[in-house]
Amino acid sequence: MTNPPFKRRRVVVTGLGCVSPIGADVDSTWAAALSGRSGIGPITRFDAKEFPVRFAAECSGDLDLGDLSPKDARRLDPVAAFSLHAVRQALEDARFESTPETQDRVGVAIGSGIGGLGTLENSWRALFSSGPRRVSAFTIPMAICNMAGSVAAIQHRLRGPNLCVVAACASGTQGIGEAARVIERGDADVMVAGGSEAPVTELAVAGFANMKALSTRNDETTLASRPFDLDRDGFVVGEGAAALVLEAEEFAAARGARVLAHLRGYASTMDATHITLPAEDGEGAGRCMELALRDAGLSPEEVEHLNPHATSTPLGDLAEAKAIRRVFGSHADRLPVSATKSMTGHLLGAAGALEALLCVQVLRHGWMPPTINLDRPDPACDLDHVVGVAREQSARVAMSNSFGFGGTNATLILASEAG
């Protein structure tokens, strides 16, 4: 007796939520992105005057932590607090509330590259200044990466699959892609997926700065993130979270949900070349885009918008531009590219989730955010950049790329219609 053939379920996006350096929710973030506003400025999280890099992309404003008590809220690392805020927004936007009848079929997949690093720093200080008895009993549960999703699952009684992808700067994108796979194979009907990161800490900023990964424009902070520009000199550390509510298409239809987009394709590949540097020819990144297109059943010419990884590093932007050229050929001349890290900085494990959210907004609203600070485009990165100001142009298919330390690549393809 043979098993029946596997029937892959279609996945739709029904809700969005975020907190970012340019807005405390989806509407404010989208408005700031369209206006080309930078969220980068001097670091306020700690005294950075002795640091070689003294600026970052920080979030501001109050976080909505639901019915969490002040005592419990104080025990949260910011990476979990950002996640709670974004997940709550996304579920409200989807008009979805878990019930005893549905909760076992609703899961969470929130990726994070480094988790609660600030908690670990504070605990090390307590250990070395006051001894082991002064280390908080909540150190480990506050610091581990999966707590970003676990606290959201606990608060909303989401008892289905619970994933935490840790893949450096590809974590959020992989979290969304793997959540879609869970739905496709029938292990859940709904997944809240995305990424969260809180890396504006002394250790993270010092570590990234000392490896020469960061921009050093301390006196020109809003000009520091400049993807594909000849004068780019490194990325800007950012923080925040973004979450998408994913549902099986038939489940969403049965409850009358509003469909914002369809998740058409996903792929992940590995460069297998270096722990931090991308493959110079962009082979792994290009292969990832090609596999995502195959997964979506689309040709390169059908993609009408691209949000690249584009961190503003000399090698990374060049490698990605080469990969885009190889995958899209002459279509790259008319494929609009919006490098939104120019405004938000690099949210590391949350970056891909925020950029996937922005792709959904492009599909919905027919506007493409600009790449700011692209004053002298690098001729080696010759693409159809949306430069300086937003472009009013509709798109039916959008691609979002994320590439992380270790050589991990991930690509999502979102569409306004099912395929």
For the chain, the domain total comes to 2
Same-domain check for residues 167 and 245: yes
Asked if 17 contacts 85 with a C-beta cutoff of 8 angstroms, the reply is yes
How many Cα atoms sit within 13 Å of 179 on the Cβ side?
A: 38
Q: Clarify whether residues 88 and 139 are in a common domain.
A: yes
The answer to whether position 260 is within a domain reads no
Examine the domain organization and report whether 207 and 304 are in the same domain: no
| Domain contains 180 | yes
294 plus 174 within the same structural domain: no
Q: Assess whether 61 and 128 both reside in one domain.
A: yes
Domain co-membership, 37 together with 178: yes
Please indicate, yes or no, whether residues 403 and 375 belong to a single structural domain of this protein. Answer: yes
Residues serving a catalytic function are 169, 309, 346
Low-confidence spans in the chain with pLDDT less than 70: 1-6, 419
Could you give the 3-state DSSP secondary structure of residue 236?
Answer: coil
Domain around 324: 266-415
Is the domain of 199 the same as that of 54?
yes
In a domain, 3, yes or no: no
Considering the domain architecture, whether residues 222 and 291 belong to the same structural domain is answered as: no
Q: Where are the beta strands (DSSP E) in 123-170?
A: 162-163
Query: Per the domain annotation, does 6 fall within a domain?
Result: no
How many of the other CB atoms lie within 10 Å of CB of 351? 33
Is the same domain home to 291 and 247? no
Task: Give the contacts of 242 (CB within 8 A, at least 6 positions apart).
Answer: 16, 17, 18, 20, 86, 172, 194, 195, 350, 353, 354, 356, 357
In a domain, 1, yes or no: no
CB 360 within 8 A of CB 416: no
CA-based angle 328:333:336, to the nearest 5? 90
Q: What percent of the chain has pLDDT over 90?
A: 93
Find the Cα–Cα–Cα–Cα dihedral 373, 215, 314, 172, rounded to 10°: -90
Regarding whether 360 and 237 lie in a shared domain, the answer is no
Q: State the pLDDT at residue 76.
A: 95
Which run of H or E residues covers position 42?
Answer: strand 41-42
**CATH number for 319:** 3.40.47.10
Beta pairing partners, 415:
262, 397
Instruction: Write down the pTM of the prediction.
Output: 0.96
SS3 content of the chain, % helix, strand, coil (to 5): 40, 20, 40
- The pLDDT of residue 1 is 43
Q: 245 and 398 in contact (C-beta within 8 Å)? A: no
Does residue 2 lie within any of the structural domains?
Answer: no
285 falls within a domain: yes
Would you give the end-to-end CA distance of the chain in angstroms? 32
At which of 219, 254, 289 does a domain end? 254
Please tell me the distance from the alpha carbon of residue 348 to that of residue 169, in angstroms, as a whole number: 4
- Would strands 408-415 and 55-56 be described as parallel, antiparallel, or unpaired? unpaired
Same domain flag for 248 and 348 = no
Query: Quick one: residue 418, left, alpha or beta (phi over 0 = left, psi -120 to 50 = alpha)?
Result: beta
**122 domain residue, yes or no:** yes
Answer with the one of 220, 254, 288 that is the final residue of a domain: 254
Close Cβ partners of 94 (under 8 Å, ≥ 6 residues apart): 14, 15, 245, 247, 257, 258
Q: Indicate the residue among 195, 221, 254 that finishes a domain.
A: 254
Backbone angles phi, psi at 220, to 5 degrees: -140, 55
Contacts of 144 (CB under 8 A, 6+ apart): 115, 116
What pLDDT score was predicted for residue 2?
Answer: 47
For 403, residues 6+ apart whose C-beta sits below 8 A from its C-beta are 169, 170, 278, 284, 285, 309, 316, 320, 409, 410
